[in-house]
Structure 1
Amino acid sequence: MKQIFTLWLCIALMGMSTVMGESASATQAVDGQPYHFGFKKSKGGELPSIAQEGFMHLIERQGGIFLGDTTKKELFLTFDNGYENGYTPKVLDVLKAKKVPAAFFVTGHFVKDQPDLMRRMASEGHIIGNHSWSHPDMSTISSAEIRSELDRVRTASAELTGQKEMKYVRPPRGIFNEKALASCREAGYTSVFWSVAYKDWDTNIQRGTDYAYRQVMQQLHPGAVILLHSVSKDNAEALGSIIDEARKQGYEFKSLDDLKVKHYH
């Protein structure tokens, strides 16, 4: 009997080692290398692409958003709000006047510094997304640290706005690896990237309203997720014209909550 028990114990321990080994492999599989999000821009009617960037299947596997339904003329407007530069009120004014929904991805600094704007975003029906508390490189911190970054923003935002739900996250600086996206997903978030963008975040290099308008309009395509930074004076001044012209071209602005079909190219 003792020999049988010893044999059973050895088999059980071997099985446990195998399971633990598989678990470790699964963890390693989502660690991966870091990526800085980039894409081939839409041009001449062609859809944008991330196929050449090396992370397309990673984003797809983790349920991230790059494109909406490319068979429909729908646009999804998103803003990154790391800090306030005086132009978010203008952006909100335009969105309200044009009846356009948007998503604002906020950092801890913005939440603490701009409680009135946070409340206004919520009261006017916009989505408030998570851009992390301290804007770290998520590929270099642990899953627990990522969770803490996200939880702090969600808690502080809920206390200000009363909105308990926060479903979308945008990795700071567009830097990520699979572990970071998996950690966000496990925390209940969908990672939102973009398919229209230009260098608008540098407040020392603003090239005028017409430039901002052209940069956005020449990239428009069905299912576009548009990224703009609210610190840009050019964006605030061009936004109304962008919305008007997009509608003339047959596009409809939708909320991220309406993005039901995700495309990856």
Structure 2
Amino acid sequence: MSPSDAAPSPSDGLSACGPAKNSRPAPSIAQPQQSADLPSVSVVVPVYNEELVLQDCLQALQAQLYDGDYEIIVVANACTDSSPEIARAMGVRVVEEPQKGVVFATRAGIAAARGEIIACTDADTLVPPNWVARIAQDLAKPGVVAVTGPFVYHDSPFWLRWGGLIVANLNYKFLIGMNLAVWRWAYDQVGGFDPRYNLGADGELGVRLSKIGKVLIDRRLKVYSSGRRYMVDFWRTIYRYAVTIFSLMLFGKPYFYDFSDIRARFPSRLFKQESYRIWFSGAALRQVRCGQPVVALTFDDGPSHYTAQVLDILRDEGVPASFFVIGRNVERLPELARRIVSEGHAIGHHTYSHGSWTRIESDRQLRRELDLGAQAIKAATGVTPTLMRPPRGLWNPVMIALARQQGYQPVAWSVAARDWQRPSAEIIADRVLRKAVPGSIILLHDGQDTQLDPSMQNTVDSLPTIIRTLKQRGYRFVTVPQLMQLGRLAQGDDTAGPDG
């Protein structure tokens, strides 16, 4: 295929993310031409009656830390529930596909997509905040036409979480449908998903893509999916997946056409599994609809030697904030933790050691992190924290379930300055001011991990500009608990739910 043969990207750009910066035609070789701009990305989510889990999935996708253009497309695949309405209410583009089957839904979503990169995930899957950015980084490598990564069954027993992760990490050549991305030109060049296969269409697509370029297996491109199919129909699921994998390895195509329909065969068992997940996990609070021009400043990873400067600025400007502190740092600088509380700020839990919570760990290990962190905060301030934010925002429902069981409100963010990358104070302020809207939870840092001197001076220097500019725009500053209370009042009840 020559550049003149390729269909150009639409000039109107991505509906959910603004105009596309650059249209890149398909070249005649296996690697696309590169430009200074980040490629546009379309994320396709096929959906069949997923009203219990869809909001969590879309909130994770809307929280991506990606500077390029990206859109989210939900494909309503013969839905009879409220899934399409949920997506539209969250501002997500919805495409209808009446022919039932994940392969037909995915093909329809890709046909409507406007991105240079096509990424696919499932409605019962949660992606980390750096998922889209890592996909773009992987596909920029020479010769790479597609990328995939492992998955963790986040809502399943410990043995199934481990087993699923081991199997996913043994993958050495096949695309995984809940966690894949491909250059659009390469997808078109090989003919896209084959509609003859509903089960194994992802693996079969990868076989054809591997003939024109490299299919990269990125072990760090991890997502969190549901093990509900195994939980309600274990042996049939094991059998079908195993036969499909061996058939792909030996013959390059799947053996079975379709999955077992667990909704038709086990409706009550599936409902129980999905309801259990929603009841105990739910979504982290990212933004609150409160009907007022208010925002919440939050600071992570303190206290550090920069926390005092942050507190001085907040005091001088008369602004409250919320600090998510690391237990180990609190033990080393208890006087700063006490000052946070004494000056009227909210204090939250950011675990004890700031380790990675995306690994498969036992419930006992996770509880220990929560318990030690809470003890450190209580000992220094006399306050028992009720807010909790996971390290690096890479949460999963297993962790959220444990946090909720221990009485914590999981808190994420809707605006991230990415100040941990140490950009200039001007860039930090610009990132916040461009994205802040009423009800925003803004993420900044007064520390980094467990370092006492983490070089966060640019964040400190950006604060006066952020605060004064938002005040000029008519905004007031509140703590996260105050923001939640305003959300309750706006909703006319006493529960403030998360808002994507």
Shorter-chain TM-score bucket reads 0.7 to 0.9
Match of 2:155 in 1: none
Match of 1:93 in 2: 312
* Matching of residue 78 in structure 1 with residue 298 in structure 2: yes
Match of 1:17 in 2: none
Match of 1:248 in 2: 472
How far has the Cα of 1:40 moved from its partner?
4.9
Distance 1:40 1:79, change over 3 A: same
* Matching of residue 112 in structure 1 with residue 331 in structure 2: yes
* Matching of residue 234 in structure 1 with residue 437 in structure 2: no
* Matching of residue 102 in structure 1 with residue 316 in structure 2: no
Amino acid at match of 1:234: N
1:220 alignment partner, one of 420, 432, 436: 436
Amino acid at match of 1:238: S
What is the rounded CA distance, in whole Å, between the counterparts of 1:38 and 1:82 in structure 2?
27
Is the 2:367–2:402 Cα contact (8 Å) retained in structure 1?
A: yes
Amino acid at match of 2:300: D
2:401 alignment partner, one of 169, 182, 193: 182
How far has the Cα of 1:138 moved from its partner?
2.3
Is the 2:303–2:336 Cα contact (8 Å) retained in structure 1?
A: no
How far has the Cα of 1:175 moved from its partner?
1.5
**Partner of 1:236: helix, strand, or coil?**
helix
2:419 alignment partner, one of 193, 196, 200: 200
Is the 2:60–2:126 Cα contact (8 Å) retained in structure 1?
A: no
Which of the pair is proportionally richer in helix? 1
What is the rounded CA distance, in whole Å, between the counterparts of 1:178 and 1:50 in structure 2?
23
* Matching of residue 210 in structure 1 with residue 426 in structure 2: yes
How far has the Cα of 1:198 moved from its partner?
2.5
Q: What are the superposed Cα offsets for residues 184-239 of structure 1, whole Å, 9 maximum, x if unpaired?
A: 0001001100011122113xx442x2222212111111110000011321111121
What is the rounded CA distance, in whole Å, between the counterparts of 1:227 and 1:118 in structure 2?
19
What is the rounded CA distance, in whole Å, between the counterparts of 2:301 and 2:292 in structure 1?
28
**Partner of 2:441: helix, strand, or coil?**
strand
Is the 2:280–2:401 Cα contact (8 Å) retained in structure 1?
A: no
**Partner of 1:243: helix, strand, or coil?**
helix
Matches within 5 A, 1:26-175: 39-40=63-64, 54-55=125-126, 62=282, 64-69=284-289, 71-82=291-302, 84=304, 86-139=305-358, 140-163=360-383, 165-175=384-394
Is the 1:50–1:264 Cα contact (8 Å) retained in structure 2?
A: no
What is the rounded CA distance, in whole Å, between the counterparts of 1:39 and 1:236 in structure 2?
24
How far has the Cα of 1:143 moved from its partner?
2.2
Amino acid at match of 1:68: V
**Partner of 1:180: helix, strand, or coil?**
helix
Distance 1:118 1:214, change over 3 A: same
What is the rounded CA distance, in whole Å, between the counterparts of 1:234 and 1:68 in structure 2?
28
Amino acid at match of 2:63: F
Comparing 188-197 with 131-140, greater Cα deviation is found at: 131-140
Identical-residue share of aligned pairs (%): 31
Consecutive aligned runs of 4 or more in structure 1 exceeding 6 Å deviation: 35-38, 49-53, 56-60
Amino acid at match of 1:149: E
Distance 1:63 1:74, change over 3 A: same
Distance 1:134 1:158, change over 3 A: same
Distance 1:60 1:162, change over 3 A: closer
CA RMSD of aligned residues (A): 3.2
**Partner of 2:415: helix, strand, or coil?**
coil
Q: Which runs of 5+ in 1 are unaligned?
A: 1-28, 44-48
What is the rounded CA distance, in whole Å, between the counterparts of 2:126 and 2:420 in structure 1?
24
Structure with the greater alpha carbon radius of gyration: 2
Is the 1:200–1:228 Cα contact (8 Å) retained in structure 2?
A: yes
Amino acid at match of 1:215: R
**Comparing both chains, which one has the higher relative contact order based on Cα–Cα distances under 8 Å and sequence gaps of 6 or more?**
1
Distance 1:156 1:227, change over 3 A: same
What is the rounded CA distance, in whole Å, between the counterparts of 1:89 and 1:58 in structure 2?
40
How far has the Cα of 1:42 moved from its partner?
11
- State the TM-score, normalized to the length of structure 1: 0.74
Q: What are the superposed Cα offsets for residues 51-85 of structure 1, whole Å, 9 maximum, x if unpaired?
A: 6985499699525201011632110110002562x
**Partner of 1:141: helix, strand, or coil?**
coil
Distance 1:87 1:129, change over 3 A: same
